Amino acid sequence: MRALVLLLCAGEPSSAVAAAPWTVSKRAAAVALPAGASLLRFTVQGEESVDFQVVLFAADRCTLRVVDQPVKSSAGTLGAAMTRINAIAGVNGGFFSPEFAPLGLVISQGKRVGSWQKSSLTSGTVVVRKGRLMLIWRDEFQDGPGITELLQDGPGITELLQTGPRLVNHGLAIKGLEVGRNRPRTFIATDSEGHWLIGTAQYTSLAHLAQILAAPGLVPGLKVDRALNFDGGRSTGLWLRTAVGEVQYDEEISTVRNFVAVIPKGS
């Protein structure tokens, strides 16, 4: 999906958004992935039925890598990129223009492309800084790494993807997200205690995705504290490798500018 879609996003969370009850109606057995990660597949029922595929991993054993593809004519698939870097799992990343330029700042293995943006499409950032994986809101950088430091050399940030909109904050669904456009979605979420989810949802709106991710009981033993939307629609893709070496690949349709990979720490 190219970023020519209007996404309405308000900045504050509200429990009033979650008007409909969302419950897991079907759950498959978890599939073991390398480094203690696992694939979770479940269906959530509420105002509609939404199928989820989610990779659950712990930040003490895994981290994220941003894989950037600067030239569209030579850009490959998610599957090819994940195979090349021996990833555990991966999804499509952030938004990009019709000219294949990233919308927002991207840092891949220390190399910066794009520029810092202020819009609903770039309201959050996935960051690996000095080995620590973080999900930081755009307006928090003044109290965190600092935007000045971020844009200079040597801040210790090796991976960064600026995208949006925000979906969940402090365990509550963000209000004001669009409701009427059901499509494939890609997202990342964390309980802010070292547990992370990255995956896809078929098919739902941004508002309903936020409500579902904030609902209790989605993943046993984990309560989503923060969640952030990635590019979706035709860009949506999920690749993973099981603990016994089997590959599952739900291929993206569009040629995508960047990907986000789950890799074992130290690799």
Rg (alpha carbons) of the chain, rounded to whole number: 17
pLDDT for the residue numbered 15: 39
pLDDT for the residue numbered 6: 31
Q: What is the pTM of this model?
A: 0.89
What are the structure tokens assigned to 88, written together?
């555990």
- Cβ neighbours of residue 5 closer than 8 Å, sequence gap 6 or more: 181
Residue of 209, 232, 246 whose CA lies nearest to 39: 246
Question: How far is it, in rounded angstroms, from Cα 73 to Cα 182?
Answer: 30
Low-confidence ranges of the chain (pLDDT < 70): 1-20, 142-155
Domain boundaries, the chain: 24-264
pLDDT for the residue numbered 149: 61
pLDDT for the residue numbered 145: 56
Residue 216, number of CB atoms within 10 A of its CB: 9
Contact 202, 51 (CB under 8 A): yes
Which tens digits make up the pLDDT trace of 145-160?
Answer: 555 565 555 468 899 9
Question: How far is it, in rounded angstroms, from Cα 109 to Cα 36?
Answer: 24
- Cβ neighbours of residue 142 closer than 8 Å, sequence gap 6 or more: none
In this structure, what DSSP letter does residue 143 have? T
Dihedral of the CA atoms 77, 250, 6, 120 (nearest 10)?
-80
Question: How far is it, in rounded angstroms, from Cα 238 to Cα 126?
Answer: 18
